[in-house]
Structure 1
Amino acid sequence: MIRLHCLHAHPSNQSYIENVFGHTDIALYHTVDSSFIERATQDPTFDQHKQQAYAINRLMQEGEADLILLTCTQYIAALGDQQHLFKQPIVPIDEPLFELICQGKGPLQLVFSNPDTVEGTMKRLKSYAKEHGKQIDAEVMVMEDVFHLCLNGDMQAYEEQIKKQLRRCMKKSGDICVMQLSMVHAAQQMEEETGVPIIHPLSPLKQFVHQTISALKE
């Protein structure tokens, strides 16, 4: 059985992954590392170099994993291009999302609730698109002073703010994509309420992970 180790920055992300892979033949193991986000947001000395060293050291501890899934976009940005250091494939949750975004034809609204993730994620998205010869027509929408609700565990208030932003997005032209896993539940609720499809990180994840596992077995 394939061991999929999932590294989260917030415990609320565990249930999303359980819902996707809980009924498959993949053995899931979860680690929540909230200290990374706390330091990244509160400690000015915890710079990009230290964040990368921290991420590498933490991932080195997942030696029993066949595959490692990173669900925190800030963690992913900190790791950067150092995936080659690990014997197991590292799956950043936004990579299959990048692939899906690059397949789109029209304009996109990319919605972030955590401003600290925007620069790193967009840098990686642009690099991914360039590497695959794709052009992206996207507008970045950044929600200010909202993510602290998620970090404090006030998920109901957090999701209400996400839904307010999504309603505003629906009044504009272009498809909508939420860029963080913590935004998925609100996005799914809005889809059910309005019938308007919203792209999110879970949309392409299951297929991407199974393709990665198939490549491992070859």
Structure 2
Amino acid sequence: MTIHIACLHASASNIAYINRAFNGYDVVLTHVVDDNLIHQIRGGMSQEELSKKIIHQLQQIEQSDGDCILITCTNYIALLEELAVEFKLPIIKIDEPFFEQVARAEKPIKMLFTNEATVKGTMKRFKAICSCEQEIEVVLIPAAFEQYLAGETVKHDQKIIEYLVSQDLFEYTVAAAQLSMSNAAIVYSKLSGQAVLNPLNALQAYIEEKLKIRKKKNR
């Protein structure tokens, strides 16, 4: 059975990550991108205006023939949590599978970010959803997110990898909190042998464990 997932992004760059996560699975993806959201949040758009915008966008997406909606932007998710609104389609919030993995950590946690605007909302949601016994240190990697917004994803990934290589992190559980950081986290893991938790890998696990979607058989 094919499942149709409608994806809502705040950056077109996230499309490639989600296509990669669902590659080979019996899933049809459609993508809706609102690349103005980050700038509107930074520009001081009011909470009420942002809330109305998100509700309208999700209601528009619900008019498609999708089976569920995947939200990949942590700012979207944090804002949505403040709304007492029910939607017709199930909504998958990309941070929740990631949070579940982080909460199982057996070492102190380094939670890495590149976008300062997502830190407060993400950590508030994590603490509300998960019970975690480990100490969590939030680390902001400077300058990288601006490169991501400019489409310089190779430089963005390299800056994150350089930070990871420069640190002694083997005594910690390392978690890259944003989807945009996933590629760099995966590359560093292969280079160093140290696993870095990230939303992309967590989503791939969720696909099989919770959605019960299996990979297509080779013919």
TM-score under structure 1 length normalisation: 0.88
Q: Deviations over 1:6-65 (max 9, x none)?
A: 111111211111112121111111111101112112x22x02332222112111111132
Query: For residue 179 of structure 2, what is the aligned residue in structure 1?
Result: 181
Residue-pair matches, total: 210
1:110 aligned residue: 111
List runs of 5+ in structure 1 lacking aligned partners: none
Relative to structure 1, the CA distance from residue 160 to residue 101 in structure 2 (aligned partners, 3 Å threshold; closer, same or farther) is same
Comparing 58-67 with 46-55, which one deviates more in the overlay? Answer: 46-55
Kindly indicate whether residue 206 of structure 2 is the aligned counterpart of residue 208 of structure 1: yes
The equivalent position to 2:188 in structure 1, one of 164, 187, 190, is: 190
Counterpart for residue 121 of structure 1: 122
Larger RCO: 1 or 2 (CA < 8 Å, sep 6+): 2
Is contact 1:177–1:199 with CA below 8 Å preserved after alignment?
yes
Identity across matched positions, percent: 33
In 1, Cα distance between the equivalents of 2:207 and 2:170? 33
Task: State the match for 1:68 in structure 2.
Answer: 69
SS at match of 1:34: coil
1:105 partner letter: E
Q: Mean alpha-carbon deviation: is it higher for 161-170 or for 151-160?
A: 161-170
SS in 2 for 1:62: helix
Is it true that 1:142 corresponds to 2:143 in the alignment? no
What are the superposed Cα offsets for residues 96-129 of structure 1, whole Å, 9 maximum, x if unpaired? Answer: 0111111112111000000000000000000012
**Equivalent in the alignment of 1:31:** 32
Is contact 2:107-2:171 (8 Å) kept? Answer: no
Q: Post-superposition shift, 1:67?
A: 0.9
Cα deviation, residue 137, structure 1:
1.8
1:71 CA drift (Å): 0.9
Contact 2:21/2:204, CA 8 A, preserved across alignment? yes
Match of 1:95, as an amino acid? E
Cα distance in 1 for residues equivalent to 2:18 and 2:84: 21
Q: Distance in 2 between matches of 1:84 and 1:135?
A: 32
Cα distance change of structure 1 residues 84 and 100 upon mapping to structure 2, 3 Å threshold: farther
What is residue 48 of structure 1 aligned with on the other side? 47
SS in 1 for 2:200: coil
Q: Matched residue of 1:100: which SS?
A: helix
Q: 1:83 to 1:96 in 2, by over 3 A?
A: farther
Give yes or no for the alignment of 1:168 onto 2:193: no
The structure carrying a bigger helix percent of its residues is: 1
CA 1:82–1:212 in structure 2 vs 1: closer, same or farther (change >3 Å)? Answer: farther
Match of 1:156 among 154, 157, 170: 154
CA RMSD of aligned residues (A): 2.0
**Corresponding letter in the other structure for 1:22:** N
Structure 1 residues 158 and 193 mapped into 2: Cα distance closer, same or farther (>3 Å)? Answer: same
